[in-house]
Amino acid sequence: MYEIVLSGPLTEFSDYNLNAFIAFAAGFPSKIIPRRLLRRHLYPPTEYDERGVVKFAPYGLRKIETILQDEFGEDKVATIFPEKLPEVINEKTKVVGLTLHDPLGLAYVSTTYSSLVGFGSVPITAMETKIFFDMLKKLKKRYGFKVIAGGVGAWQIADMNLQDEMMIDTIVIGDGEEIAADLFKKALKGEKLPRVVKAITKDMDKVPTIRRPVLYGAVEITRGCGKGCAFCAATMRKRYSFPMDKIMKEVEINARNGTKMIMLVTEDIFLYQSLPGFKPNREALEKLIKRIASTPGIEYVQVTHSSWPAVVYDPKALEVISPILYEKTFWEIRGKRYIGAIIGIESGSVRLMTKYMRGKAKPLSIEKWPEIVVEGVGIYNDNQWYPGGTIILGMPGETEDDALRTLELVDDLKDYMVVLIPLLFVPITGALLQNASRVSLKNLGEVYWEIIWKCWRHNMVKFAPEYERKVRAVVPFVLPYYLYYHGRYGVRALLGLSGLLKENGWKT
Ligand code: SF4
């Protein structure tokens, strides 16, 4: 049996039917849909064998598994499906390593949409984390193993002072590649472990190439960014493009093992081998995407993130990769295929962008940020991309005038195919603004409610007009509950909604 067992909550062990963007719904409130249905339809379990060993692991955990197997041997380390842990863990288990993506529901989507439509319930991710830890704590009391927790959301446990309650010995915040082997070695020897370890991988040769497949066929093509946005932790990592050979090895491992999709993990696809000044390297990008798309067995190639300034600066860079990505796209709406990616709009206020995100517009100037966003969306649409654009509400020091500039930008985007995703500001550990205050819906003025309603009205009109009548029918029944649960700021939301619905010809 395994001395080192790797696992995590159930929401981490699903490919969400290959729909990475629906995975965001795991940040939605837990009480709206019964868990039984969520488990069957939103996060169906990934495959695992009779020993509980998963076929496709979360990407970050697979990297750590590779390091630990190199260090301690393949027979000593395995990634186990969470619900199989009671059958796998026993007195031989010395360490359990966990990946936590959004354990307490404090990330952007969960914070925003659970407080907005939560009706008093915690996000789905937090519900699953609680169920997972209730089980793990019983096992730990019985067998006494050490628990080491990492992953992009591990900071939430330290922030909320829940480490002891969750019986976690060490929380790793940041990257695990350079510290995992030593940390697990100490744990195996029964030595005292540090409570919290903060680490950023500096030597990229320490990032291993996976040997087994991962969920979504994820393959990291770049790490870090360097544009310096104050709310973002990625900027603290040096910008780095992984070598083509390493990328292709991971693509092939996934393809050979039956993954239909390759998801290119990056903060911005145009950072791949980018030229000085954040200028896109269209030749390198085209070569990479062509090679990945022509790998036998790969039906879909998906990009996680992209950017506006790169395509405004060099529209040709988008033109050369779009036909290849269009051929391999997963996305379709009303019979029309399109390419998707998440791109940060952040704010329409040049003042705020200059204060916190001066580098975001590179290789162009931040002074023209709203124009760059509008022109960028147009260029993406011309190349069959319908991006998701995130907007941050309530950044520290944001004034009503800043919010009005964002509202203007939302208005300027009304004719474009872009999903507008308003999110509440979250001070993420590791970002420059990590000590700023969290923003609450209660503190948002009416202009913010108008932004939220306008964004979602836009999304419905552009992407799901067939649901408009159904939503109109449901709204009068939902609103009284909304007011009940949300009190005073529910009234504000109602006023904002009512004005907006009237303005758009809706009777309320
Ligand atoms: S451009 Fe994006 S990834 Fe880069 S620092 Fe800004 S928010 Fe982070």
C-alpha 292 – ligand 1 centre gap (Å): 25
Mean pLDDT, rounded, for 52-59: 97
Residue nearest to atom 8 of ligand 1 (CA): 232
| SS3 state of residue 346 | strand
Strand segments, DSSP code E, in 310-427 are: 331-333, 336-338, 342-346, 388-393, 419-424
Kindly give the number of the ligand 1 atom that is closest to the alpha carbon of 228. 5
The reply to whether 508 falls in a domain is no
Residue 492 has pLDDT above 60, yes or no: no
Tell me the CA–centroid distance for residue 231 and ligand 1, in Å.
8
Closest ligand 1 atom number to CA of residue 267: 3
Domain boundary, last residue among 154, 180, 202? 202
375 and 452 both lie in a single domain = yes
Claim to verify: residue 159 and residue 17 sit in the same structural domain: yes
* DSSP letter, residue 38: I
- Specify if 31 maps to a domain: yes
- DSSP-assigned beta bridge partners for residue 80: 53
Averaged pLDDT for residues 310-320: 98
- Residue 121, pLDDT > 70, answer no
Assigned token pair, 66: 């590779």
- Ligand 1 centre distance from Cα of residue 228 (Å): 7
Q: What is the pLDDT of residue 491?
A: 54
**Residue 267 alpha carbon to ligand 1 centre in Å:** 7
Do 400 and 434 lie in one domain? The reply is: yes
Sign of CA dihedral 416, 419, 423, 426: negative
Quick one: 104 and 58 in the same domain? Answer: yes
pLDDT at 501: 47
Same domain, 441 and 342: yes
Percentage of the chain beyond pLDDT 90 is 71
What is the average per-residue pLDDT within 240-262?
Answer: 96
Side-chain-side CA neighbours of residue 64 (13 Å): 28
Instruction: Tell me how many degrees the CA angle 384-390-394 measures, rounded to the nearest 5.
Output: 160
DSSP state of 75: G
Q: Is residue 76 part of a domain?
A: yes
Range of the domain at 378: 213-503
39 and 125: one domain? Answer: yes
Cβ-proximal residues to 453 (8 Å cutoff; 6+ apart), any chain: 496, 497, 500
- The answer to whether residue 442 sits within a structural domain is yes
Same domain, 346 and 273: yes
Structure tokens at 504: 């758009």
Residue 207 within a domain: no
**Residue 217 and residue 196 share a domain:** no
Kindly give the number of the ligand 1 atom that is closest to the alpha carbon of 233.
8
The residues pairing with 303 across neighbouring beta strands, listed in sequence order, are 264
* Same domain membership, residue 154 and residue 180: yes
**Span 68-119, pLDDT tens digits:** 999 999 999 999 999 999 999 999 999 999 999 999 888 777 777 766 665 5
Instruction: State which of 179, 202, 225 marks the end of a domain.
Output: 202
Residues 251 and 192 in one domain: no
Give the model's pLDDT for residue 431.
87
Query: What's the gap in Å between 163 CA and the centre of ligand 1?
Result: 29
Q: Which of residues 369 and 477 earns the better pLDDT score? A: 369
Q: Is residue 477 part of a domain?
A: yes
Name the residue with the closest Cα to ligand 1, atom 6.
Answer: 229
- Domain boundary, last residue among 174, 202, 230: 202
38-47, 84-93, 172-181: least confident range: 38-47
What is residue 311's predicted lDDT score, i.e. its pLDDT?
98
pLDDT of residue 488: 54
Residue 389 DSSP class: E
- Matching residue, tokens 């959004």: 102
Q: Which atom of ligand 1 is nearest to the CA of 307?
A: 1
Spacing, Cα 15 to ligand 1 middle (Å) = 25
79: β partners? 6
Q: Is residue 263 one of the residues assigned to a domain?
A: yes
What pLDDT, on the 0 to 100 scale, is given for residue 480?
A: 61
Local confidence band at 189 (pLDDT 50, 70, 90 cut-offs): very high
**Residue 488 burial by Cβ neighbours in a 10 Å radius (0-12, 13-18, 19+):** exposed
Between the CA of 307 and the centroid of ligand 1 the distance, in Å, is: 9
- 285 C-alpha vs ligand 1 centroid, how far in Å? 19
pLDDT band at 504 (very low <50, low <70, confident <90, very high): very low
**What is the domain count for the chain?**
2
23 neighbors 218 (Cβ within 8 angstroms): no
Judged by average pLDDT, the poorest of 154-158, 213-217, 300-304, 503-507 is 503-507
Ligand 1 closest atom vs CA 235: 5
Domain identity same for 287 and 361: yes
Question: pLDDT confidence of 508, banded at 50, 70, 90?
Answer: very low
My answer on whether 194 and 218 are in the same domain is: no
User: How many angstroms does the Cα of residue 357 sit away from the middle of ligand 1?
Assistant: 8
Placement of tokens 């790797």 in the chain: 6
Pocket of ligand 1 (CB under 6 A): 225, 227-229, 232, 234-235, 267, 344, 360
Whether the link from the prior residue into 422 is cis, omega within 30° of 0, is no
Cα(175) to centroid(ligand 1), Å: 17
pLDDT, mean over the chain: 90
Interacting residues of 45 by C-beta distance below 8 A, sequence separation 6+: 10, 13, 14, 39, 81, 83
Give the pLDDT confidence score for residue 29 in this predicted structure.
Answer: 73
Which CATH number belongs to the domain containing residue 330 in this structure? 3.80.30.20
Axis crossing angle, helix 369-382 with helix 400-412, rounded to the nearest 10: 20
| β-strand pairing of 388-393 with 342-346 | parallel
For residue 303, which phi and psi values (nearest 5 degrees)?
Answer: -110, 135
Place 182 in a pLDDT band, splitting at 50, 70 and 90: very high
pLDDT at 110: 73
Mean pLDDT of 158-176: 95
- Give the number of the atom of ligand 1 that is nearest the alpha carbon of residue 231: 7
By most ligand atoms within 8 Å of CB, the mutation choice from 220, 222, 223, 227 for ligand 1 is 227
CA separation for the pair 456, 193 (Å, rounded):
47
Instruction: Look at residue 253 and tell me if it is in a domain.
Output: yes
Residue identifier of the C-alpha nearest atom 3 of ligand 1: 267
Ligand 1 pocket: which of 303, 360, 425, 433 to mutate (most atoms <8 Å of CB)?
Answer: 360
0.85 surpassed by pTM: yes
Which span out of 39-43, 133-137, 449-453, 486-490 was modeled with the highest average pLDDT?
133-137
pLDDT at 269 over 60: yes
pLDDT, mean of residues 274-286: 97
Q: What percent of the chain has pLDDT over 70?
A: 90
